[in-house]
Structure 1
Amino acid sequence: MSGNIITEEDVSKDTITNKDEIIIPPQQLKEKKLSWHKFRRYDSLDIESRKLHPNFNHGSKNGGWSVILHLAFQSIGVVYGDIGTSPLYVFSSTFSGGIRHNDDVLAVLSLILYTLTLLPLIKYVFIVLRATDNGEGGTFAMYSLLSRHAKIGLIPSQEPADQDVSTFQLENHRVRRASRFKSKLENSNFAKFFLLLITMLGTSMVIGDGILTPSISVLSAVGGIKEATSAMTEVKIVWISAAILVCLFLFQRLGTDKVGYTFAPIICIWFTFIASIGIYNFIKYDPLVIKALNPKYIIDYFRRNKKNAWISLGGVVLSTTGSEALFADVGHFSVRSIQISMCAVTYPALVLAYTGQASYLRKNNLDVSDTFFKSIPGPVYWPMFVVAVLAAIIASQAMISGTFSIIQQSLSLGCFPRVKIVHTSSKYEGQVYVPEINYLLMLACVAVTLGFRTTAKIGNAYGIAVVFVMTLTSSLLVLIMIMIWKTNILLIISYILVIGSVELVYLSSVLYKFNQGGYLPLAFAMFLMSIMFIWNYVYRKKYYFELDNKISPEKLMDMVTNTNSYRLPGFAIFYSELVHGIPPIFKHYVANVPALHSVLVFVSIKSLPISKVPIEERFLFRRVRPNDLNVFRCVVRYGYTDVRNEQEPFEQLLVERLVEFIKEDFRLSVVESDDKESPKMDQEIDDNDDGGGGIGNGENGDQEQEEIKRDIEFVEKAMLDGVVHFIGEQEVVAGNGASIGKRILIDYAFNFLKRNLRQSNEVFDIPQKRMLKVGMICEL
């Protein structure tokens, strides 16, 4: 959880006490006249971070209207299948006991229309989508956004240089209310843990949606065949649904790009059909259902039905299913494309569909259990059935794609075990596929379908998952309003009173059916939260262990120069999660293998609480003095949507950036040396010296150029001699005196996850033939 933002005073001691490693930002050398006493001195790890690219934008998704409209079309097939197929089961789920009064139809239609307008449209499309993190949505994206503006992260891997990444986008202005609230949040460990836990809960609930959505959508659509033939039994429908689900998940490996273009035309046809049938039923049966716009029918409905009306809200809320997918999937597309497709296509089609069904039910109360298929005109029944089955299949796509996105975010922020992230589109960023999660979701969906068998039981479970996620999203959104947007307090109160209270009423209704299947999403969430908590807990403990036992630069120099270590030709990369210092596993290695490669680079892979880090700003270097040791430290920074080592050759990039760093480091070292020798405080730099950026002319300049050239050639030769990747494999065990709970958590639960999931080399695509693992036991 690399979420904290720190000031320069917070830099660790080894960063500020070593004079040889404190140098001056390179762009300051390019100015014509500089006052030496006005120079601000920085750690050399900041060098690369000062090369900012303020024009960096979030991918090609903002590349003009042609791209936006293409993405809007794609989003119809990926994002709206879930909410678009809700008309299959909303009325039947709401009136599970039948229609008792004809005006109840108007009341439920009124509830559906106002709920659709208030939650998916106003809340998500026009408010929540503003809370994306550089274009990425979902619960973890909101948490990351908060992490950048307040010190709520639980791992101390922050550096001042992180704030200089062009996508960090921090605001400088503060209001007293926001600052006071931020301070209380930062000083409360309980608040930090609580925020992390509700983020994990929200994420787990969205994954639970990814399990329940395919089951209920496909079962609802396939069940329509009963209207045409009595030979189709419930058992056959269940098995056909399971087979369709297996095919759907096998299709995911093609990626969101291909899936979107394949599914979007079908969903467009689906929306056209349900809107047209809605208009037909509205005109034919009862145009007076337009009276449902009057909220008085809702009040009368609760007066007549009391407790039953409250219970029926669990069916009404199913009209909003897929709203969280709309937010979680925004990273696959863009905010503007989602807004266009929702307002122009999805919302109008759904309003017409529900209005048409209500018109039909006003004249045919007894058909409520199969409202959707009963209301279809005879000539278009079979075409509609086929499109319904296809649309139900596609409905699953929204939550599956959203699940992949949030898994990637939680993995990068240290809250999920290692799984492989496959970037499926070179054209659009953010479109990913997670093989392990895909197959686990497939097994879970098939198990739910075979176990529950009916949409009524699945609907009870589904409602809880939908409303829980909505409520948690609102909670994080209120924090964003206070701390980041600096929203007027009256608007915040209005949001809580209107949208918050509506969601709490719906939540109370769905919880009533907890023992009727509602326990299922909570069981899924608790299982996933347990995995996430175990991984994050040990991940943090292990980081603190390395931090407490890190090797100082002085100790490293002593180890390299005062031991019998032999320098082998070649280039060695030591991987570690530790950002501040050299990991203790290196000491363990040197003690057992008295041979070191001619160039050593300690690489720390670090995730920032932002969605993307430009490649130009990804590598930060520091040189361990003296220079002839040829030992470097490197922090490689990624955003939580960056694909690591898959789109670019990592070794080549690292060496290129190292060569640039050597040049800059040498120039700045010369400037510092000249500064110390110069008797003048306001010496001027002439930048007309052959573009050397601070390197002098004449004999000294030639000598300095020779030294740079020699160092670069030494690095390149070491690269040609061979690159070896060292992976630290810490065996984590509970320390002496640990409690039974801690022993179970570390020795059994964490190590079970670690053994059965991908190792570091698989995640970072390290070549097997050039990889060595260094083992070490860490007692936590």
Structure 2
Amino acid sequence: MSAGSSAAEVHHVPSGTSTDDGAISNDEVPQQEVQGSKLKRIDSLDLESSKCHQNNHHGSMNGAPWSVILHLAFQSIGVVYGDIGTSPLYVFASTFPDGVKNTEDILGVLSLILYTLTLIPLLKYVLIVLHANDNGQGGTFAMYSLICRYARVGLIPSQEAADQDVSNFQLELPSSTSRRASRLKSKLENSRIAKLLLLLTAMLGTSMVIGDGVLTPCISVISAVGGIKLQTDSMTEGKIVWISVAILVFLFAFQRFGTDKVGYTFAPIIAIWFLSIGSIGIYNFFKHDPGVIKALNPKYIIDYFRRNKKNAWVSLGGVVLAITGTEALFADVGHFSVRSIQISMCTVTYPALVLAYTGQASYLRKHHSDEEVAYTFYKSIPHHIYWPMFVIAILAAIIASQAMISGTFSIIQQSLSLGCFPRVKVVHTSTKYEGQVYIPEINYLLMLACVIVTIGFRTTAKIGNAYGIAVVFVMTLTSSFMVLIMIMIWKTNIFLVIPYVLVIGSVELLYLSSVLYKFDQGGYLPLAFALVLMFIMFVWNDVYQKKYCFELEHKVSPDKVKDVVLRANSHRMPGLALFYSELVQGIPPIFEHYLANVPALHSILVFVSIKTLPISKVPVEERFLFRRAQPNDLNVFRCVVRYGYTDVHNEKEPFDGLLVERLKRFIMEDYMFSRDNNQELLDKYNQVDDGAIQVESTKYPTAVERDMELVDNAWHAGVVHLLGEHDVVAAKGASTGKRFMIDYAYNFLKRNVRQSNKVFDVPHKRMLKVGMTYEL
């Protein structure tokens, strides 16, 4: 992306007076008016007029050509459905751990499986929840960020009114508003507790999905490898565990090649897997007992509960394993698209699973000894194709882990960009498709956790107890967010919301109550794991907010900026200094600290704040917001650089080169917007096709020429990146809990995560760190 290749506009803020922080609340935002040829002046960095001509929904590939959608649908088979696709390996064994006591129970369980598959993965996720994505991104944090855009419920302190003007941020609300939606929005916005609960719910959901990403590889691989015990007595439990560990290590080592290559490598294998289990299901259905078709009648579910009572309720913990990996449909939508996932689910995955479970039930109706039930999948395979199916099952189990691993990368990237996760390296692995990412640190930690769980739990029964809790918890939290979105954003008729809550909500709560019953049998693992992750996320987010508020309270006022710069005017050196700070509403206190120790300034000083909006992508032409400190001859500018949570920060074009080009455009626009009669000049400027900076001496005053030349000279003299590094400590007299959170927990995390220069990709040879300690 070359600096001069875009003809789109730079956001402009005319110079003038403003409040100290330059911030204006949403309720006080004046509108820019054009009266004849006269443009009204607006004096705030927070009030930018967005000039993007269309609403580009980046990240969502649903408008792509059908060839691209079908390619993505094929890829999604290998990435998204491995988990739910390998559930037939262990569902009946987990549902009947003590064997089948009554053959009619098989019909009841089959009916439960079929209706659960239809209600949750197909109806809830594929037809409803997938549409609640945030500009193509899915997962718990995507739903949270979507809610934050429609209501001021976010706890991110760097929000600005100008962010609402980004084209991807604009909301396509219906013309008539719903009083119910308004009441709900008002209650959420006016309740600090509600805002905190929403954030904690998003953190809990994210933590559970990460826990799911740990348990999925363990149970899938052990289930597949365990089938070899039927063919050889020499295969002990210990050997199965270590073979599984070796397979898991190989799987995580393969992640660095990216979702694009992984998808094309795995998709043919999973496609063969679905074809195989569907075909075997048809074979078993006609050979053993076609009468299982009666399971379509939900009456058999009622009979099953009447016969078994509490045992039937407990067995739901096994049935729910049939829908494991469903959350990956939503979490991985950013890797693909809504339409591609809908196509692959409805045409391949759902039919194959229905046939597989129906065939296994037919087999069990005729062969229901304890061993037959424990190894239902392998026992139901025709003997002459056992070994080919064993190999395919191993491969499918390896791939099953891919769905939740990819989903884990996606949601961690989102939570990281929203300030709710410690800094880690995010690698974008595909140049063709947005949203496909790989996080090395998380990949390593997931691998380590999988190996520990596999060695510690050893059997699918114990892992299954933990697995069920992680799966159903995430589904329940997703449904909670879904109700808010339906009422407040979609403004769905209440008579459609109520059936959703009664049907989907009741089913998920019933399953949740069942899996919690086995809390002491391994179910504690995902909850303990989630609590640790939530603690890390909460500590990072809470101290980040406190640190930001401290900077906001102690920022340097415009008058003080003028004084300190004028004092240093005799020590201005040639060059451009980019001073990085997280503060977007003013000039950070570390600037004054810097001048007190180094009383010299570069000829051009730009305070750069890099922030992430809770949307997936910000167009480049809307990325830079500038403002000029007064008076103009100070040559001090503020710049907010806005990214979406899927944008790549270190693009091919050097960041400082792109910033300089946009700065020169701003200087030119600043002059045009500050004149009383400038419409003709503005129209001529907007007709420049190549976006290049052109200064005509007959049109522009000497001051503009001088400023443009000064920027060019500073750029050629050299760029210095001044990086603000803040140590934080608890203030004197702080409570024990606050001291622990700041002095120990946060600082421990800060020392062990990626440093700011790596996150911003600042060149080491031109970087200078400026440190300061904040007492919070």
TM-score category of the 2 structures, normalised to the smaller one:
over 0.9
- What does residue 186 of structure 1 align with? 189
Percent of residue pairs bearing the same amino acid type: 74
- What does residue 64 of structure 2 align with? 63
Residue 34, structure 1, aligned to residue 36, structure 2: yes
Match of 1:602 among 573, 582, 607: 607
Residue 437, structure 1, aligned to residue 442, structure 2: yes
Match of 1:420 among 414, 425, 443: 425
Distance 1:564 1:685 in 2: 36
What are the within-5 Å matches in structure 2 for residues 537-616 of structure 1? 537-563=542-568, 566-616=571-621
Residue 396, structure 1, aligned to residue 392, structure 2: no
**What are the Cα deviations for residues 132-159 of structure 1, in whole angstroms up to 9, with x where unaligned?**
0000000000000000011111233222
- What does residue 151 of structure 2 align with? 150
Match of 1:743 among 717, 739, 742: 739
Distance 1:76 1:83 in 2: 11
Where 2:420 maps in the other structure, the secondary structure is coil
Q: Which amino acid aligns with 1:663?
A: M
Calculate the aligned-residue CA RMSD, in Å.
Answer: 2.1
- What does residue 129 of structure 1 align with? 130
Conserved? CA contact 1:79–1:397, under 8 Å: yes
- What does residue 21 of structure 2 align with? 14
Deviation at residue 693 of structure 1 after TM alignment: 8.7
Residue 248, structure 1, aligned to residue 247, structure 2: no
- What does residue 477 of structure 2 align with? 472
Change in 2 beyond 3 A, CA 1:271/1:192: same
Deviation at residue 625 of structure 1 after TM alignment: 1.5
- What does residue 199 of structure 2 align with? 196
Conserved? CA contact 1:12–1:580, under 8 Å: no
Conserved? CA contact 1:313–1:510, under 8 Å: yes
Distance 1:331 1:700 in 2: 46
Where 1:15 maps in the other structure, the secondary structure is coil
Distance 1:504 1:302 in 2: 17
- What does residue 52 of structure 1 align with? 52
Deviation at residue 688 of structure 1 after TM alignment: 9.8
Distance 1:469 1:489 in 2: 24
Change in 2 beyond 3 A, CA 1:406/1:691: closer
Distance 1:23 1:180 in 2: 25
- What does residue 328 of structure 1 align with? 331
What are the within-5 Å matches in structure 2 for residues 637-648 of structure 1? 637-648=642-653
Conserved? CA contact 2:59–2:334, under 8 Å: no
Change in 2 beyond 3 A, CA 1:650/1:119: same
**What are the Cα deviations for residues 417-460 of structure 1, in whole angstroms up to 9, with x where unaligned?**
00010000011000000000000000000000000000000000
Change in 2 beyond 3 A, CA 1:279/1:644: same
What are the within-5 Å matches in structure 2 for residues 754-765 of structure 1? 754-765=750-761
Where 1:411 maps in the other structure, the secondary structure is helix
Deviation at residue 378 of structure 1 after TM alignment: 0.8
Distance 2:124 2:630 in 1: 55
TM-score of the superposition, structure 2-length normalised?
0.93
Q: Which amino acid aligns with 1:329?
A: D
Residue 356, structure 1, aligned to residue 328, structure 2: no
Distance 1:224 1:617 in 2: 56
Q: Which amino acid aligns with 1:34?
A: G
Where 1:50 maps in the other structure, the secondary structure is coil
**What are the Cα deviations for residues 358-403 of structure 1, in whole angstroms up to 9, with x where unaligned?**
0000000011000000100011111100000000000000000000
- What does residue 494 of structure 2 align with? 489
Structure 1: runs of 5+ lacking an equivalent: 1-10, 675-683
Where 1:621 maps in the other structure, the secondary structure is strand
- What does residue 271 of structure 1 align with? 274
Match of 1:726 among 718, 722, 729: 722
Change in 2 beyond 3 A, CA 1:308/1:94: same
Where 1:58 maps in the other structure, the secondary structure is coil
Conserved? CA contact 2:22–2:44, under 8 Å: no
Conserved? CA contact 1:571–1:599, under 8 Å: yes
Deviation at residue 743 of structure 1 after TM alignment: 0.5
Distance 2:324 2:140 in 1: 16
**What are the Cα deviations for residues 150-200 of structure 1, in whole angstroms up to 9, with x where unaligned?**
111123322222111111131344211111111111010000001100110
Structure 2: runs of 5+ lacking an equivalent: 1-17, 689-694
- What does residue 224 of structure 2 align with? 221
Deviation at residue 42 of structure 1 after TM alignment: 2.5
- What does residue 295 of structure 2 align with? 292
Where 1:167 maps in the other structure, the secondary structure is helix
Q: Which amino acid aligns with 1:466?
A: V
Conserved? CA contact 1:565–1:594, under 8 Å: no
**What are the Cα deviations for residues 114-146 of structure 1, in whole angstroms up to 9, with x where unaligned?**
000000000000000010000000000000000
Change in 2 beyond 3 A, CA 1:222/1:35: same
Q: Which amino acid aligns with 1:359?
A: S
**What are the Cα deviations for residues 493-549 of structure 1, in whole angstroms up to 9, with x where unaligned?**
111100001000000000000000000000110010000000001000000000000
Conserved? CA contact 1:24–1:41, under 8 Å: no
Distance 1:292 1:511 in 2: 27
Where 2:45 maps in the other structure, the secondary structure is helix
Change in 2 beyond 3 A, CA 1:381/1:715: same
Conserved? CA contact 1:605–1:635, under 8 Å: yes
Distance 1:155 1:298 in 2: 47
Distance 1:518 1:397 in 2: 23
Change in 2 beyond 3 A, CA 1:712/1:48: farther
Distance 1:660 1:688 in 2: 12
Q: Which amino acid aligns with 2:325?
A: G
- What does residue 12 of structure 2 align with? none
More off after superposition, 606-615 vs 323-332:
606-615
Deviation at residue 609 of structure 1 after TM alignment: 1.3
- What does residue 658 of structure 1 align with? 663
Change in 2 beyond 3 A, CA 1:508/1:704: same
Deviation at residue 309 of structure 1 after TM alignment: 0.3
Change in 2 beyond 3 A, CA 1:523/1:778: same
Deviation at residue 666 of structure 1 after TM alignment: 1.4
Q: Which amino acid aligns with 1:83?
A: I
Conserved? CA contact 1:325–1:402, under 8 Å: yes
Conserved? CA contact 2:59–2:616, under 8 Å: no
More off after superposition, 649-658 vs 175-184:
649-658
Where 1:158 maps in the other structure, the secondary structure is coil
Change in 2 beyond 3 A, CA 1:443/1:12: farther
Where 1:154 maps in the other structure, the secondary structure is coil
Distance 1:321 1:159 in 2: 40
Conserved? CA contact 2:611–2:643, under 8 Å: yes
Distance 1:557 1:181 in 2: 46
Where 1:571 maps in the other structure, the secondary structure is strand
Q: Which amino acid aligns with 1:753?
A: L
- What does residue 639 of structure 2 align with? 634
Change in 2 beyond 3 A, CA 1:692/1:470: closer
Residue 109, structure 1, aligned to residue 110, structure 2: yes
More off after superposition, 283-292 vs 166-175:
166-175
- What does residue 11 of structure 2 align with? none
Where 1:255 maps in the other structure, the secondary structure is helix
Q: Which amino acid aligns with 2:278?
A: A
Deviation at residue 764 of structure 1 after TM alignment: 1.2
Conserved? CA contact 1:93–1:456, under 8 Å: yes
Conserved? CA contact 2:227–2:390, under 8 Å: yes
Match of 1:304 among 302, 307, 323: 307
- What does residue 13 of structure 2 align with? none
- What does residue 4 of structure 2 align with? none
Distance 1:277 1:708 in 2: 77
Where 2:22 maps in the other structure, the secondary structure is helix
Conserved? CA contact 1:609–1:640, under 8 Å: yes
Where 1:598 maps in the other structure, the secondary structure is strand
Where 1:427 maps in the other structure, the secondary structure is coil
The count of residues paired between Structure 1 and Structure 2 equals 744
